[in-house]
Amino acid sequence: MACFKNLFGILMLQMVVLAIISSHADGQGLKIGFYEKSCPQAEKIVFNVMKDVMAVAPSLSGPLLRMHFHDCFIRGCDGSVLLDSPNNQSEKFSIPNLSLRGYNIIDRVKTELEKYCPGVVSCADISALVARDVTVLTKGPFWDVETGRRDGKISLIGDPINPVSGLPPFFLNITALKQSFALRGLSVKDLVVLSGGHTLGMSHCSSFENRLYNFTGIGDTDPTMDRNYIARLKLKCKPNDQTTIAELDPGSFKTFDDSYFRLVNKRRGLLQSDAALLDDPETKAYMIQATSYGSTFFKDFGVSMIKMGRIGVLTGSQGEIRKVCSKVNESPN
């Protein structure tokens, strides 16, 4: 009985999440060049700021790409990840945000846009455009970003850690990863393609320490991880290290390329959720294709990013256009 109740609870939760997400799951109301008339320079302004930023801080490419992913996975792509709250109770104060950086860059882009077209471009769209631009500026693919998102007014610290509707944690197995993506209308192909975004960025040692030191609680290592790689990582990450970070794609973590897949194929994926991509025939086959002659990874990445960018968006008269990305607008009374 308890079991039934539990299952029912989970089903209910999934239905609620689906209801929230599917309201605009197809991205209705978004289009390429939404600001063509209202702010013709918008995309150029974003790109120019990002060009300056990447010239001096290329290591922000990973966190800024991830920012859009976090935003879309929680409550849909509505800029909720960017909100502060007076008592630190918004999404950005939730544990999975440890690796998010670059909020000040989003603010800088917003400030620049407000000079030219005040109150026109949403923070949710800025996040989507910035994700594309950091990809391009690190030698990755270009795609046309759909715009027209509006900003949400709610951001809750508990949302990212919700086991069903939250962010997929780094230790998820392939079944759970697929479920997390499916819940948002994303396919198994989207899962493996978007994981390729780990070609940029870093991860805290604490996110994979168990694989090096205590995988099953008997002081063992993860048998699915390359032993030489484990030895190398142990030099960098000591037990209970809360501060050190390691490159997800060592040697080219500031360049968008296919080397992440090459590493995972060689059992050198850093996170358990990276290694898990070898446990499914479809994701495994994709990673071989993606690292072979005629790879479609670059083209696929744009397609999956556009799909992700449609999750649970607010459009039309929903939400608002924030004046400052970290704050909801004052109500006019």
The residues of the shown chain that bind ligand NAG, judged by CB under 6 A, are 87-88, 92-93, 95, 97-98, 173, 175-176, 214, 217, 219
Of 176 and 303, nearer to ligand NAG (C-beta) is 176
Tokens of 299: 């083209």
- Please give the Cα distance from 82 to 62 (Å, whole number): 16
- Please give the Cα distance from 79 to 149 (Å, whole number): 9
Least Å from the CB of residue 265 to ligand NAG: 21
Task: Tell me: is residue 80 an annotated ligand-binding position.
Answer: yes
How far does Cα 332 stand from its chain's mean position? 34
Task: Tell me: is residue 27 an annotated ligand-binding position.
Answer: no
Q: Using the 8-state DSSP alphabet, how is residue 97 labeled?
A: G
Instruction: Report yes or no: 101 and 57 within 8 Å, Cβ to Cβ.
Output: no
Residue type, 55: A
- Which residue number places its CB atom closest to ligand NAG? 217
Task: Tell me: is residue 159 an annotated ligand-binding position.
Answer: no
The strand pair at 202-204 and 146-147 is best described as: unpaired
- Please give the Cα distance from 39 to 113 (Å, whole number): 9
Least Å from the CB of residue 67 to ligand NAG: 11
Least Å from the CB of residue 170 to ligand NAG: 12
Helix (H, G, I), strand (E, B) or coil at 19: helix
Of 48 and 173, nearer to ligand NAG (C-beta) is 173
Q: Using the 8-state DSSP alphabet, how is residue 151 labeled?
A: B
Least Å from the CB of residue 87 to ligand NAG: 5
Task: Tell me: is residue 250 an annotated ligand-binding position.
Answer: no
Task: Tell me: is residue 199 an annotated ligand-binding position.
Answer: yes
204 is an active site residue: no
Numbered residues of the known binding site for Ca(2+): 71, 76, 78, 80, 91, 199, 249, 257
Numbered residues of the known binding site for substrate: 168
Catalytic site residues?
70
Numbered residues of the known binding site for heme b: 198
